[in-house]
Amino acid sequence: MSVDRARLDRLRNRPYDGQAVKHLVEAGLMWLKTNQQTVNSLNVFPVPDGDTGTNMMLTMTSAWNEIKDSAERHAGRMMAMVAKGALMGARGNSGVILSQLWRGFARGLQDCEVIDAASLVRGFIEARDTAYKGVVKPVEGTILTVAKDTAAAAESALSETQDPLEVLARCVPAADASVNRTPELLPVLKQAGVVDSGGKGLFYILEGMMRHINGEPLDMPLAAVQPLSSLNFENAMEEVEEGQDFEVVVDFFPNSHFELQKFYNKLEAMGTSIQVGEGEGMYRMHIHVPTDKRYEPIDYIMGIGTITKVAMENLVAQLDEINAKSYGGKLELVKIEPNQIAVVIVSPGPGLSRIFASLGAAAIVEGGQTMNPSTQEILSAFENLPTDKVIILPNNKNIVMAANQAKDVTVKKVAVVPSKSVPQGLAAMLVHNPDGELDSVVEKMTKSLASVKSGEVTTATRSVEIDGVNVKEGQVIALLDDKLVASAKSVEEGLLDLLKKASAEEHELVTLIYGEEMNQSEANRIVDVVRQAYPNLEIELQDGGQPHYQFIVSIE
C-alpha cells in the first residue's frame, strides 16, 4: 500500500484518540459501501444469495450509527461503542464475524486513551483471537484467515516501527495478499474461480482507512469490471436513494478509445448504484438516476460506443409494487403465557410465515436468502414476550450465528435450534411443545432436523462448474442439502432431477413450497407431473411466497 509521506508527517502530530477512531471507522464503511457489489459478486454457488458485501456494510453501518454523534476522546471507549453497534447490527455469518473482530479490537484497546503502535498491534491480535473463538469449526481460506494474516503482519511491523500509521500501512497489503491466497486454502473457492468474499470485505475496510489517511477518495470505485454473470441488480434495489427514481441498464460495445476510469468518473456525476460488467467484449452498465437525468447515461454511451440494448425501470413504482405484494391480514401468532416456551421463527416469505404461525410460532422475523436479519432484529422479536424461555429457529445457515449472538446478549433463557433450511424449521415445529421442559424440547427439535432432506430449485446467476455439475447462467439449478446436484432447462426438469438425486421414492412425503415468482396454476401443473413420476409418494403443495427460489422442497 503506497503511503502519502507528507500527509503522514502531518497526522503524526495529532493524537490517535477516539475521534481518530471515529474517522477511520467512517472511512472503512464508506470504502466498503463503494465496493459492496464487488464483494457480493464473489459467491461460490451460482445462487441469488450473494449478500456478503451487503451484510458487512449493514453491520458497519450499525457500528457507525453508534458513534457518529459521539464526541468521545478516549480511544478505548470509542472502540467499545463501535463493537456494541457492530454486535447489535450484525447480519449473516460475515457480519457476525466482523462484529467479533471489532469486539476483540475493543478488548485490546479498552484501557487506551490514545492508540500507539503496540496497542494497535494488540488490537489486531485480540480481534483475531476473538473471531476464531467465536466459530465452532474455524475454516481456513475465509475472513478468519485474512484476520490472522493481518495480525501477523502487524506483529512483524512492530519490530521495525513504533508509528501506528506505519503499522496499518503494512497490514493493508498483507490483507490483500491473504485474500488472494484464499482459493489455495479452500478448494471450493478455487473450483468456483473466486476469492473469499468476507475476507475481501475486511480488506476493503482496512484499505478504506488507509485511503482516508492518504487523502484518497472513498466514494468512487476503482475502475474494475465484473463478469456479466456476477452483476446483482437485486441488491441494488435494496438501496434506492431518495431522488434516484429510475434504473437504467445499457448494453454496448465500446469504441477503441474507451477508458474505464473516465467512464466511471462520468457516471458518478449522473447517479448512484453503479455497476459495470463485461463479457466477450460487450459491456453492461447499471445506474440509478433522478428522473431528469434518466436519458443522460444513454446519450453519453452513444458517444463512446455502439448500444445494443437499453432497459429503463421506474424504481419508485417497483418499490411500491414490492411493498404492496404481501398477504393481507394480520398473522395469528400464538399467545404465549408466562413460563411457556416461545418459538421465534426466521421466515423468508409471507406464505411460510402463515404456515409457521399455524404451527405455533410466537414471533416471526422476516429473513432468508439475501435478507439476513440482524442480531438486534432477532433480539427485538422476543425481548417483550411474557416468558423467559425462548427457542430460535434461524432456518438458514447464514443466520445461525446472528441467532446465537442474540442468545448471548439477553438475560432470558434462549436456545438456538440450528435449523439451516425451511424444511428443517418446519420439522422442528412439528415436535415443539410450548408447555414442555426447555432442554427436553430443544433436544427433540434438534433431533428432528435430521428427519428431512432439504431441496431448492432456483435460477443460476452465473456460469460455473462445481462438484461435477456444469451450470450456465440463466439455467434452472437444484440444490440438495445445500449441495449443487443438477442443472436443467426448466423448473419441472430441475425439480424431477432433485427428487431423483434425493431418492424420493424411498420416502413417504414430499412438500413443495412455491415462491413468489410462480403462480398457483403453474405450481399445480408441476405437482401433477411429479405425481405421475412418483405415484406412491404423498405430495403436498404450499404457497410460501419466498423470493428467488421457485421451489423449496421438504422430503420426509
Q: Locate 167 and state its grid cell.
A: 503499522
Q: Indicate whether 495 belongs to any domain.
A: yes
- What string of DSSP letters covers 299-353? HHHHTTEEEEEEEEEEHHHHHHHHHH-S-SS---PPPPPTTSEEEEEEESSHHHH
Q: Indicate whether 147 belongs to any domain.
A: yes
Q: What pLDDT shows up at residue 236?
A: 47
* Residue 203 pLDDT greater than 80, yes or no: yes
Q: Indicate whether 219 belongs to any domain.
A: no
> Which range is most confident: 236-245, 305-314, 315-324?
305-314
CATH number, residue 464: 3.30.1180
82 and 118 in a single domain? The answer is yes
Least confident of 229-233, 263-267, 275-279: 229-233
Rounded CA separation 158/24 (Å): 20
Residues 6+ apart with CB under 8 A from 555: 423, 452, 453, 454, 455, 499, 502, 504, 507, 509, 510
Q: Which is it for strands 469-471 and 464-466: parallel, antiparallel or unpaired?
A: antiparallel
Average pLDDT over residues 397-410: 93
Q: Which is it for strands 282-289 and 272-279: parallel, antiparallel or unpaired?
A: antiparallel
Alpha helices, DSSP H, located in 387-490: 400-408, 422-430, 438-448
Q: Which residue has the cell 512492530?
A: 158
Order across the sheet with 509-514: list the strands.
483-488, 476-480, 453-459, 549-555, 509-514, 538-543
15 and 136 in a single domain? The answer is yes
Q: What pLDDT shows up at residue 437?
A: 96
Please report how many Cα atoms fall inside a 13 Å half-sphere around the Cα of residue 306, on the Cβ side: 6
Q: What pLDDT shows up at residue 54?
A: 87
Reported as a single tens digit per residue, the pLDDT across 23-76 is: 999 999 999 988 888 888 887 777 766 688 889 999 999 999 999 999 999 999
Reported as a single tens digit per residue, the pLDDT across 71-95 is: 999 999 999 999 999 999 999 999 9
28 and 128 in a single domain? The answer is yes
* Residue 510 pLDDT greater than 90, yes or no: yes
Domain that includes residue 259, residue range: 226-322
Rounded CA separation 226/524 (Å): 39
277 and 180 in a single domain? The answer is no
* Residue 3 pLDDT greater than 60, yes or no: no
488 and 439 in a single domain? The answer is no
57 and 14 in a single domain? The answer is yes
Average pLDDT over residues 311-326: 64
Give the confidence band of 11 by pLDDT, cuts at 50, 70, 90.
low
Q: Indicate whether 221 belongs to any domain.
A: no
Rounded CA separation 199/184 (Å): 14
Average pLDDT over residues 178-201: 92
Which of 188, 213, 238 terminates a domain? The answer is: 213
461 and 441 in a single domain? The answer is no
Least confident of 272-286, 329-343, 522-536: 272-286
Average pLDDT over residues 329-333: 74
Reported as a single tens digit per residue, the pLDDT across 219-228 is: 765 555 555 5
Give the confidence band of 328 by pLDDT, cuts at 50, 70, 90.
very low
3-state DSSP assignment of residue 272: strand
156 and 288 in a single domain? The answer is no
63 and 118 in a single domain? The answer is yes
56 and 199 in a single domain? The answer is yes
- What string of DSSP letters covers 342-396? EEEEEESSHHHHHHHHHTT-SEEEE-BTTBPPBHHHHHHHHHTSS-SEEEEE--S
Give the confidence band of 427 by pLDDT, cuts at 50, 70, 90.
very high
* Residue 319 pLDDT greater than 90, yes or no: no
Q: What pLDDT shows up at residue 316?
A: 67
Per the model's pLDDT, the better-predicted residue between 543 and 42 turns out to be 543
Least confident of 3-17, 138-152, 374-388, 489-503: 3-17
Residues 6+ apart with CB under 8 A from 210: 1, 3, 168, 169, 172
pTM over 0.75, yes/no? yes
Total domains in the fold of the chain = 4
Pair 487, 471: CB distance under 8 Å: yes
Rounded CA separation 99/87 (Å): 5
231 and 200 in a single domain? The answer is no
Q: Indicate whether 241 belongs to any domain.
A: yes
Give the confidence band of 291 by pLDDT, cuts at 50, 70, 90.
confident
Which of 322, 347, 367 terminates a domain? The answer is: 322
Q: Indicate whether 31 belongs to any domain.
A: yes
Give the confidence band of 321 by pLDDT, cuts at 50, 70, 90.
low
Q: What pLDDT shows up at residue 330?
A: 66
Pair 266, 298: CB distance under 8 Å: no
Average pLDDT over residues 257-283: 84
402 and 539 in a single domain? The answer is no
Q: Locate 78 and state its grid cell.
A: 470509542
Q: Indicate whether 218 belongs to any domain.
A: no
Rounded CA separation 388/228 (Å): 50
Which of 398, 419, 451 terminates a domain? The answer is: 451
Q: What pLDDT shows up at residue 8?
A: 54
CATH number, residue 206: 1.25.40.340
Rounded CA separation 234/318 (Å): 12
Average pLDDT over residues 222-245: 54
Mean pLDDT of the chain: 88
CATH number, residue 284: 3.30.70.1150
477: enclosing H helix or E strand: strand 476-480
Least confident of 165-174, 270-279, 503-512: 270-279
Give the confidence band of 12 by pLDDT, cuts at 50, 70, 90.
low
